[in-house]
Amino acid sequence: MQETSHSHSSVNGKNLFITILLNIVITIAQVIGGLISGSMALLSDATHNFSDVISLFISYGATKISGREQTLKQTYGYKRAGIFATFINAATLLIIATVLVWEAITRLIHPQPIAGMVVIYMAALGILFNGLSVLLIKKDAEKSLNIRSSYLHLFTDMMSSIAVLLGGFVMKFFGWFWIDGVLTIGIATYLVYSSWGILYESIRIFMQFTPSHISIEEIAKKVSELKGVKNMHHVHVWQLDDQEMMLEAHIDLDEDYTISRFEDILEQVEKTLEQYDIHHFNIQPELFRSDQKELINTGRHKKDIGSE
């Protein structure tokens, strides 16, 4: 039996589109400013902004695609498009961070004079536009891992613009041009720190790992305690995307029940699974079947839950 009676909030495509336009403007302005000033930190910020544009385009496209209906050929629809976009966006951040570190080290070895005021103006523009972008998609980021990856791009870019702004003042009034390379390394380090968790979570969903907050042992124990159920085994719990969880399992019954009585048991199973926000499930009933009652069907270990 499988229940599909819940719905999900939609993402505001208009806000996402406005954010894309804002970041195109920032990217063009900062590239020009970086070339004029000679600031590696400003160019790195512009590079990150360009990755924001790509990230937002990917998220926007994935949002549109994932909303398509299921068909006989795509029985789950395109719900994982958002997770695919999340993986690409997070991986892009790590690649950008690596390139920035390499360029920053080169700049530290060979420091160059930098026009501090240009850096200050362009960084201030980045803070303003990125801050507005962050506010536009903040609510959607709370609902979608896909949008959260783009939100992370924007938020880290806003933070890096703040760092570049401070560096501009230092270079303008103290002439410490080496601070440009140091700030670039700091920005890159923060990119790695902030993107790794989202990348790891997207990989977990792709690999159909059990969600980190779900305990299969606990679920099986609760189901096995229901009246009429002897044992729950061969359990699989995975995520279809960042919102929907799926479960399939076998349960041993203690009697040869009628279909109507089994439906009553399934209603109790449904109530139990709803406690874990699992609304899609498939249960295979068994009676006196001689298969191993492993919690996870590995073929190597036996782990029983409930009574035999």
Confidence category of residue 5, pLDDT binned at 50, 70, 90: very low
Confidence category of residue 41, pLDDT binned at 50, 70, 90: low
Q: Which residues contact 66 (CB under 8 A, 6 or more apart)?
A: 77, 78, 79, 80, 81, 82, 146, 241
Confidence category of residue 275, pLDDT binned at 50, 70, 90: very high
**What are the tens digits of pLDDT across the range 153-162?**
788 778 777 8
Query: Running DSSP on this structure, what letter comes out for residue 227?
Result: T
**What pLDDT does residue 286 have?**
92
**What are the tens digits of pLDDT across the range 244-267?**
899 999 999 999 999 999 999 999
Greater pLDDT, 251 or 28 = 251
Query: What gap in Å lies between CA 161 and CA 187, rounded to an integer?
Result: 9
**What are the tens digits of pLDDT across the range 126-166?**
888 888 888 888 887 777 777 877 787 788 778 777 877 88
pLDDT for 119 beyond 90: no
Across 170-190, average pLDDT: 79
Q: What is the mean pLDDT of the chain?
A: 81
**What pLDDT does residue 300 have?**
56
pLDDT for 23 beyond 70: yes
Structure pTM? 0.70
Q: Which residues contact 39 (CB under 8 A, 6 or more apart)?
A: 33, 114, 115, 118, 119, 164, 168, 171, 180
**What pLDDT does residue 198 have?**
83
208 is written with which tokens? 């159909």
- In the block, residue with structure tokens 């980045």: 126
Domains of the chain with CATH codes: 13-206 (1.20.1510.10), 216-286 (3.30.70.1350)
